[in-house]
Structure 1
């Protein structure tokens, strides 16, 4: 990170300008924010995400049920997996018309994704249902929730680092532009007398 490069201007130097000191302060503040605030922000966001996701895990595992369904008719291979987070890679899934029993004992019929290579009428397979007997996705598990929380915390920390570094670069860019503008003004004042005898140049 280039923020550290501004710290050399803290050295005692007769040629040091006020803008050099300002750049050093900006670099120091950016360094402190990146080394302290970014990890704290990442931990806080990760902890909040973990708490929320673990509540979702408990709620889903409490309300979703794994039931046995029976194939009524094969509808062909599923074009896409509906939930890549919980579906094992490249698992063959077929669309079938199926029947199953809801928690209240009523019979249900509908399209379902079955992990069967060549489903035939009467083949059993397992599906997840909600409290009303509707097909739903498998409940989120604790390790997956933790992984998502860690990614959220890491992402928040990286976003803060990017924002701080962008603010530092913008501040330095404005200082450099102001410095060049002052140089241009000084050259304009000296320009008419440049090289004339008796001007002290």
Structure 2
């Protein structure tokens, strides 16, 4: 709004310099880019991210299978466990030795994480595996994918607006520097006495 007001005020002002008009036009162009281009880029990035994430959701749901495992015994927590899945949900999940049947029909036995608070031998729990029975993370769901896509679109829009504003500020800075240089040159031409030489003062 200030850019439009600035353009209108400088239209026929006798004190207007060419740099003033250029700064106002630059501010107006930056405003139009932010209002028009930024939402378009945000929407495009959001749609691309949504397509990609929903394709990932479909692939993960095809490749990952929910199976039922049986607890053989509980494992103590490893002090050197650096797996983010186990460290972030340490209080909600327990490490156990379990038996399960893979989707391809093979019998599997080994350590895994269970959502049981106090697992005992024979307890059953659901877990995600690949087609060969190897444990995998839960597949991404559609709601989470959509949320990530929206965040990607908003982030792209904000980044675009930031780039436009930084470019505008850099261009204004260069204009101001040039104005200072031209003022210095005009000052040198006028001389230190402002044209009073020979007036007897």
User: Per the shorter chain, which TM-score range?
Assistant: 0.7 to 0.9
- The answer to whether the 8 A contact 1:57-1:142 is kept is yes
Counterpart in the other structure of 1:7: 4
Determine helix, strand or coil for the equivalent of 1:136.
Answer: coil
Distance 1:132 1:29, change over 3 A: same
8 A Cα contact 2:86 2:93, kept in partner: no
Q: How many angstroms apart in 2 are the aligned matches of 1:9 and 1:15?
A: 13
Note the C-alpha offset of 1:147: 0.4
- 1:14 is paired with a residue whose SS is coil
Report what 2:143 is aligned to.
143
After TM superposition, the runs of 4+ consecutive aligned structure 1 residues lying more than 4 A away are 77-81
Deviation at 1:195, TM superposition (A): 6.3
**Distance across 1 between alignment mates of 2:164 and 2:172:** 12
Partner of 2:186: 186
- The residue aligned with 1:120 is 120
TM-score norm. by structure 1 comes to 0.87
Moved more, 60-69 or 40-49: 60-69
Equivalent residues, number: 194
Name the structure 2 match of 1:168: 168
Inter-partner Cα distance in structure 1 for 2:21 and 2:49: 40
SS, match of residue 16 in structure 1: coil
8 Å contact 1:9–1:16 — kept in the other structure? no
Q: Counterpart of 1:61? A: 61
CA distance in 2, matches of 1:172, 1:90: 53
Does the C-alpha gap of structure 1 residues 155 and 185 become closer, same or farther in structure 2, counting only changes over 3 Å?
same
Unaligned runs of 5+ in 1: none
Q: Which ranges in structure 2 are unaligned for 5 or more consecutive residues?
A: none
CA distance in 2, matches of 1:77, 1:118: 13
Instruction: Answer with 146-155 or 98-107: which moved more.
Output: 98-107
Equivalent-residue separation in structure 2 for 1:100 and 1:81 (angstroms): 24
Q: Does 2:98 match 1:98? A: yes
Distance in 1 of aligned mates of 2:139 and 2:154 = 24
User: Mean alpha-carbon deviation: is it higher for 28-37 or for 183-192?
Assistant: 183-192
